[in-house]
Amino acid sequence: MPDDLSPVPPRPGQLLARGVCRHLLSHGMATVEELVPAPGLRVDVMALGAKGEIWVVECKSSRADFTSDGKWEGYLEWCDRYFWAVDEHFPTDLLPEGTGLLIADAYDAEILRMAPETRLAPARRKVMVQKFARHAALRLHALRDPGAVSVF
């Protein structure tokens, strides 16, 4: 076993996600990262507002990262608003119309274009709020007790 147990540096998309989460928190939204809304999908950031509104934010660190993502449209049915988060050097003309846009770095973000709202059905919203709560609780437990064995 190596003696050096230094943490692995965050990847560029993870740094963008951190800035996005900080920004959304400053607007009263709770966030989780890497939530699975359905098999085969994993959103970078999901945000939950005080009134139950659900936003999904996909963080793209480069043109290649964006062009290799063929699943983003599958996320639309799991949120009220869908956003892209990119850094200030990203070619934003690549991003589809009808989606939101955040410019982010590791420390903050700014909403440049608000995503259009497509309200979730009440049953879908209930499922997503439950997934959000469970995901957040499991993450908290892992932080508090890293040695615990999980069956999930």
State pLDDT tens for residues 59-71. Answer: 999 999 999 988 8
Number of domains in the chain: 1
Least confident range of 28-37, 74-83, 113-122, 138-147? 138-147
In a domain, 130, yes or no: yes
In a domain, 133, yes or no: yes
In a domain, 132, yes or no: yes
In this structure, what are the phi and psi dihedrals at residue 102, rounded to the nearest 5 degrees? -120, 140
In this structure, what are the phi and psi dihedrals at residue 34, rounded to the nearest 5 degrees? 55, 50
In a domain, 152, yes or no: no
Model confidence, pTM: 0.90
In a domain, 1, yes or no: no
In a domain, 5, yes or no: no
Q: Is 84 helix (H, G, I), strand (E, B) or coil?
A: strand
Kindly state the DSSP code that residue 134 receives in the 8-state scheme. Answer: H
In a domain, 4, yes or no: no
In a domain, 2, yes or no: no
What CATH code is carried by the domain that includes residue 30? Answer: 3.40.1350
Judge contact between 125 and 79, C-beta under 8 A.
Answer: no
Query: Alpha carbon 108 to chain centroid distance?
Result: 14
Instruction: Compute CA distances 120 → 43, 68, 124, whole Å.
Output: 17, 27, 6
Question: Confidence class of residue 3 from pLDDT cuts 50, 70 and 90?
Answer: low
Higher pLDDT, 150 or 141: 141
pLDDT at 1: 45
What is the domain extent for residue 138?
Answer: 12-144
pLDDT at 6: 65
